[in-house]
């Protein structure tokens, strides 16, 4: 702190330092206005609130971990997507509830927030009792404070304000410490986040981080990229689930077509290959739709039924129709999103499928079927980069 004060003139305008100084200044002014008794009360409840927050965070984390598998089992038993066309509200509901059921990170986060809020509400019920206890121990109430101010000598009032300012400074130091702690967690978890580099260059932050590092550094080190990847993967899972719910019901004409395509296939792999060949030769690539999206940002959403009826679509449309037809003939399948080679040395957004054959997921790309054999081809992984998704 001494070093920081000595170099304060050079770093006064640095954002982190300026924010801490503002917190301290506001707290000092508040303490000066409130006086000794008012500042003591505020400091007490600040410390109490900090303890409650930490306790609620720890308990919420513990119980969210304990209840997450219980909630998953309960939802698996009671949540079944209806085998009929769903309205938009039903689609949103089943996307949410099945995502909570199947995706562990989303389930944990929601349980954590719910339990934390419950604990905070419960803890807030103690505030009136603590208020009463504090007032009795301080031997002062609201009316008493007003009378004391009227009867106090100017010197006593000045001493009360000075002591109040000191207590306000202690309060401000606590606030500043929490502020720096939040910055430390943010920089540790998201080292490439917005403003993280600027925060790390702050002289005040560097000194505070040196104190926090032995306490929390090992626990947080390296978690940033892991957390970012986990959140991105969970988001991809939820987007994928949206399509799964929308496409869950299989129209009769698509089901009949799928059955006709695989009528001579004896194994799941033969069924998957027959469907791959059928879509690859029947569904034309919709270049107009692709150009509208690439050049004007206009995206035309279409269902597998639209793709089946018009016999054209882009990669995601082909992949969704393949998914629906494969499910119609009891082949385990999923839609995969990611990047596909563009033939010019680069990659662009793409979608394809994977089918589960003898316990293994085999990739296939019916959109590219006209350009070669893309059913579990040897160089598939060199031309297709899938989005990272969490296992469920």
Predicted local confidence at residue 13, as pLDDT: 63
Residue 374: phi and psi, rounded to 5, are: -115, 35
Predicted local confidence at residue 275, as pLDDT: 97
Predicted local confidence at residue 134, as pLDDT: 62
Residues 353 and 280 in one domain: yes
Predicted local confidence at residue 179, as pLDDT: 81
176 belongs to a structural domain? yes
What CATH number has the domain bearing residue 294?
3.10.620.30
237 belongs to a structural domain? no
What's the whole-number mean pLDDT along residues 362-387?
Answer: 91
Has residue 74 got a pLDDT over 90?
yes
Residues 70 and 195 in one domain: yes
Predicted confidence band of residue 278 (pLDDT cuts 50, 70, 90): very high
User: Where does a domain end: 228, 259, 285?
Assistant: 228
Min mean pLDDT across 95-104, 223-232, 355-364, 379-388 is at 223-232
Predicted confidence band of residue 238 (pLDDT cuts 50, 70, 90): confident
Residues 160 and 293 in one domain: no
Has residue 314 got a pLDDT over 50?
yes
Predicted confidence band of residue 367 (pLDDT cuts 50, 70, 90): very high
Record the pTM.
0.59
Residues 268 and 221 in one domain: no
18 belongs to a structural domain? yes
Q: Looking at per-residue confidence, does 157 or 182 come out higher?
A: 182
Average pLDDT of the chain to the nearest whole number: 79
Range(s) of the domain holding residue 206: 2-228
Residues 44 and 174 in one domain: yes
Residues 208 and 281 in one domain: no
User: Where does a domain end: 193, 228, 263?
Assistant: 228
Residues 263 and 139 in one domain: no
243 belongs to a structural domain? no
pLDDT tens-digit map of 118-141: 998 888 887 777 777 666 655 544
Please tell me which of 88-102, 257-271, 337-351 the model is most confident about, judged by mean pLDDT: 257-271
Q: Looking at per-residue confidence, does 390 or 168 come out higher?
A: 168
Residues 224 and 255 in one domain: no
Has residue 106 got a pLDDT over 70?
yes
Query: What total number of domains does the chain contain?
Result: 2
Residues 352 and 207 in one domain: no
289 belongs to a structural domain? yes
Predicted confidence band of residue 154 (pLDDT cuts 50, 70, 90): low
Are residues 331 and 358 in contact, defined by beta-carbon separation less than 8 angstroms? no
Residues 135 and 9 in one domain: yes
What's the whole-number mean pLDDT along residues 249-271?
Answer: 94
Predicted local confidence at residue 371, as pLDDT: 87
296 belongs to a structural domain? yes
Residues 223 and 265 in one domain: no
Token digits of residue 109: 């986060």
Predicted local confidence at residue 164, as pLDDT: 65
Are residues 4 and 204 in contact, defined by beta-carbon separation less than 8 angstroms? yes
Residues 260 and 295 in one domain: yes
Has residue 142 got a pLDDT over 80?
no
Has residue 225 got a pLDDT over 70?
no
Has residue 163 got a pLDDT over 70?
no
234 belongs to a structural domain? no
User: Where does a domain end: 228, 243, 276?
Assistant: 228
Token digits of residue 165: 């300012």
Closest CA to 175 of 42, 13, 36, 2: 42
Predicted local confidence at residue 101, as pLDDT: 87
Q: Looking at per-residue confidence, does 309 or 144 come out higher?
A: 309
Min mean pLDDT across 8-12, 75-79, 239-243 is at 8-12
d(CA 91, CA 85): 9
238 belongs to a structural domain? no
Q: Looking at per-residue confidence, does 163 or 82 come out higher?
A: 82
Predicted local confidence at residue 103, as pLDDT: 83
């Amino acid at each position: 702190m001494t070093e920081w004060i000595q170099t304060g003139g050079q770093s006064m305008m640095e954002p982190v330092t300026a924010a801490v100084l503002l917190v301290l200044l506001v707290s000092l002014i508040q303490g000066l206005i409130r006086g000794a008794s008012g500042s003591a009360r505020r400091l007490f409840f600040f410390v109490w609130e900090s303890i409650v927050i930490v306790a609620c965070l720890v308990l919420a984390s513990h119980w969210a971990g304990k209840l997450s598998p219980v909630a998953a089992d309960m939802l698996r038993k009671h949540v079944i997507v209806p085998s009929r066309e769903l309205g938009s509200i039903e689609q949103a509901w089943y996307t949410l509830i099945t995502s909570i059921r199947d995706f562990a990170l989303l389930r944990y986060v929601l349980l954590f927030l719910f339990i934390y809020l419950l604990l905070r509400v419960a803890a807030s019920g103690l505030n009136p009792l603590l208020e009463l206890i504090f007032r009795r121990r301080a031997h002062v109430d609201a009316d008493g404070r007003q009378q004391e101010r009227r009867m106090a000598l100017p010197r006593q009032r000045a001493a009360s304000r000075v002591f109040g300012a000191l207590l306000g400074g202690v309060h401000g130091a606590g606030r500043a410490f929490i502020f720096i702690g939040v910055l430390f967690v943010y920089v540790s978890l998201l080292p490439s986040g917005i403003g993280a580099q600027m925060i790390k260059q702050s002289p005040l932050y560097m000194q505070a981080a040196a104190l926090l590092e032995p306490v929390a550094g090992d626990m947080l080190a390296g978690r940033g990229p892991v957390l970012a990847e986990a959140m991105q993967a969970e988001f991809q899972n939820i987007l994928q689930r949206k399509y799964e719910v929308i496409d869950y019901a299989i129209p009769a004409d698509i089901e009949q077509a799928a059955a006709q395509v695989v009528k001579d296939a004896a194994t799941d792999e033969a069924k998957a290959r027959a469907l791959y060949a059928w879509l690859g030769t029947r569904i034309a690539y919709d270049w107009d739709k692709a150009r509208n999206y690439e050049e004007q940002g206009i995206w035309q959403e279409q269902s597998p039924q639209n793709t089946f009826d018009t016999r054209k679509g882009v990669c995601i449309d082909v992949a969704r129709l393949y998914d629906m037809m494969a499910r119609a003939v009891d082949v385990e399948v999923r839609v995969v999103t990611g990047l596909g080679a563009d033939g010019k040395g680069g990659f662009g957004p793409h979608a394809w499928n994977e089918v589960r054959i003898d316990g293994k997921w085999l990739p296939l790309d019916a959109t590219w079927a006209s350009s070669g054999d893309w059913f579990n081809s040897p160089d598939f992984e060199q031309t297709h980069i899938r989005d990272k998704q969490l296992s469920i």
